[in-house]
Structure 1
């Protein structure tokens, strides 16, 4: 059964049709409602169906039973499940993820996949903010549906601003990234502007996706999704220690992380690598 599902998922035309040509916002709103139903039969059946279609590992989950599919999506882990690289010269991966596109920020240009460029200033909605990362390094981190969906502070830092931009909810898998130009610039997203103790800027851009489109930030409001309130810039001064929970997605999605010149990707980072939150991602060069 699983192998048949895998073959269907690998069919690019069918995958794209099923995940992007349906009414994306309607489907996303429905899943958001349905996943929160706290009825034992519904919860067990929906979680079982989700696990059939996704590579879900619940062995390190803090809870053994979940009142709803949503609770399983947004699960916390047992303490110590994601040890954080303590090297002060290391920026840790903020999340469990598959490494996608990465490289140097060339002027205002980065790539969502090979030969698919987009403008960093468009992603951020701010040309001035993008200039701090010219000549720096970026990496795309894709969280699949079955992964642990929380993301964490990559270093001791202060969050100075969150820019929330409303948008669509295209799937962010490689198939869609090949077919939809500037996809990250079209989707709902939140640019989280951070600064290290020495003044170095670091940027995490959380990009929502189909069946999720709901970003939660622990240092702002854990009750409402960030989109409640509409597009806006939020100024703040939230000091977070390395490894502290910053927020979560309610399904799979993407984080684009950027550093200015002076950092390089850790030695083993390459496209397709599966990372865990806390592992070395960037290192001071």
Structure 2
């Protein structure tokens, strides 16, 4: 097969992306002085306090309150409810239930080719490509290291010279995260940090953004070597959760912590976790394992389940 399946499953053209200049969780701050002010304000905001407040507010079940939040959100963002199991936004028990709403199974078909990397989320690609030794591209002119991103985990070196893809989830996106391929869980690690917004504007101005923000690291073993998926927290992200450990953030103890979990095996397309409010995921592959679709680039819009790249196994006779 080709690197990522047929062109009909290819990511949308970068010009279709709608989040290149988004502000906190999607609002547009503009560029120039306004954009710099937006980023500067994040340094002085009580980021974790705000996120805890958001967490509490989005789980209030009083109908008048949660419906007011949902109504305000729908005025700000164009949300497609036709793919949801429950299409009426006001029938959800809380704002968080509305925000993390499940989709109808047929709404996001998962590419069945075992050599295809399925997009784990709906979103827009921030950057993707080859890891330059241990350096990943954050934005034009800005890099950060694997060791920083993975908080010095002993398995970080496995991905030096490998491949990465960073995908941003806007507020109107589906906010559950799924498996890019079949894998068995090896490790889950909580890493404390700041909670800067993760939109393009902030990525341009905040050094080492993804290695500074709070995050959850997950590592899996697969038929194509190991891969990691990093869930990156952000301003107004109330919590991050996995299906095997539940809510991991906010953490009672803000220190790098290995989260115990079963040796669970998840099928391709199975739910891995979710953001309770929007953020970013980073996929990491070992060297010579992944090849991104030729149309996958910064700004590409992707949907859960579509093929975004191809995989190569240890068997030299197999093709991606």
TM-score of the pair, normalised by structure 1: 0.91
Tell me whether 1:89 sits opposite 2:115 in the alignment: yes
1:188 CA displacement: 0.8
Moved over 4 A (4+): 5-8, 17-21
Of 300, 309, 312, the residue aligned with 1:273 is: 300
The separation in 1 between residues aligned to 2:174 and 2:43, in whole angstroms, is 23
The separation in 2 between residues aligned to 1:127 and 1:180, in whole angstroms, is 23
TM-score of the pair, normalised by structure 2: 0.81
1:228 CA displacement: 3.5
Structure 2 unaligned segments of length 5 or more: list them. 1-22, 312-319
1:67 CA displacement: 2.1
Q: CA RMSD in A?
A: 2.1
The 5-angstrom pairing of residues 234-249 of structure 1 reads 234=259, 236-249=262-275
The separation in 1 between residues aligned to 2:282 and 2:35, in whole angstroms, is 24
Structure 1 unaligned segments of length 5 or more: list them. none
1:25 alignment counterpart: 48
The separation in 1 between residues aligned to 2:27 and 2:104, in whole angstroms, is 33
As a proportion of its length, which structure holds more strand?
A: 1
1:51 CA displacement: 2.0
SS at match of 2:53: helix
1:72 CA displacement: 1.1
Count of aligned positions: 278
The separation in 1 between residues aligned to 2:257 and 2:64, in whole angstroms, is 40
Contact 1:215 1:226 in 2 (8 A): yes
Pair 1:253–1:135, CA change in 2 (3 A): same
Of 60, 63, 74, the residue aligned with 1:51 is: 74
Contact 1:20 1:171 in 2 (8 A): no
1:167 CA displacement: 1.3
Contact 2:175 2:275 in 1 (8 A): yes
1:213 CA displacement: 4.6
Give the number of the structure with larger relative contact order, counting CA–CA contacts within 8 Å between residues 6 or more apart.
2
SS at match of 1:272: coil
Of 281, 290, 293, the residue aligned with 1:255 is: 281
